[in-house]
């Protein structure tokens, strides 16, 4: 995070007020992470946000429903961690950062259509992995 902040200050002159500032900042963070992993010889560890456990329970939920929700969130977190890095990254951009397909395409240097396809495939892979881990039949099966 410190390196991202330093580069943000160093390259602040490159920011153009054409898109979201968060997208520009994410691009810097992505480059810092790539530089870090390129220099290191070990495999990268998952660094995705762990926001699944912060979903609040409803006041009227029973203990069984709360336990089932916690189990599902744990399975979802595991399924997300098992996805390839590229799929996790695109899901974080689309679902957590709420970036539109056009901005994702710009960040990844791909076409908007390719970004849409990658988001769709990543969501399908996450869904399939979730149902496999939960030992439930997929609704689309």
- The whole-number pLDDT of residue 76 equals 86
Domain that holds residue 107: 2-134
User: Where residue 69 sits, what CATH number does that domain have?
Assistant: 1.10.10.10
Is residue 111 included in any domain, yes or no?
Answer: yes
User: How many independent structural domains does the chain possess?
Assistant: 1
Structure tokens at 5: 């902040």
Is residue 81 included in any domain, yes or no?
Answer: yes
Is residue 140 included in any domain, yes or no?
Answer: no
pLDDT in tens, 117-139: 999 999 999 999 988 988 777 67
Would you say residue 72 has pLDDT above 60? Answer: yes
Is residue 107 included in any domain, yes or no?
Answer: yes
Is residue 139 included in any domain, yes or no?
Answer: no
pLDDT in tens, 26-66: 888 888 887 777 776 454 444 455 544 554 444 455 677 77
Distance between first and last Cα of the chain: 42
DSSP characters over the chain:
-HHHHHHHHHTGGG--TTS-HHHHHHHHHHHHHHHHHHH-SSPPPP----GGGGPPPPTT--HHHHHHHHHHHHHHHHHHHHS-HHHHHHHIIIIIS---HHHHHHHHTS-HHHHHHHHHHHHHHHHHHHHHHHT---TT-
């Amino acid at each position: 995070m410190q390196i991202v902040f330093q580069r943000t200050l160093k390259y602040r002159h490159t920011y153009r007020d054409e898109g979201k500032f968060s997208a520009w900042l994410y691009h810097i963070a992505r480059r810092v992470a790539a530089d870090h992993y390129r220099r290191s010889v070990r495999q990268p560890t998952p660094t995705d946000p762990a926001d699944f456990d912060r979903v609040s329970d409803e006041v009227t939920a029973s203990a069984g429903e709360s336990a089932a929700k916690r189990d599902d969130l744990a399975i979802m977190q595991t399924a997300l961690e098992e996805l390839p890095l590229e799929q996790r990254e695109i899901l974080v951009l689309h679902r957590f950062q709420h970036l539109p397909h056009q901005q994702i395409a710009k960040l990844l240097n791909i076409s908007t259509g390719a970004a849409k396809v990658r988001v769709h495939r990543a969501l399908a892979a996450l869904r399939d992995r979730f149902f496999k881990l939960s030992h439930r039949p997929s609704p689309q099966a």
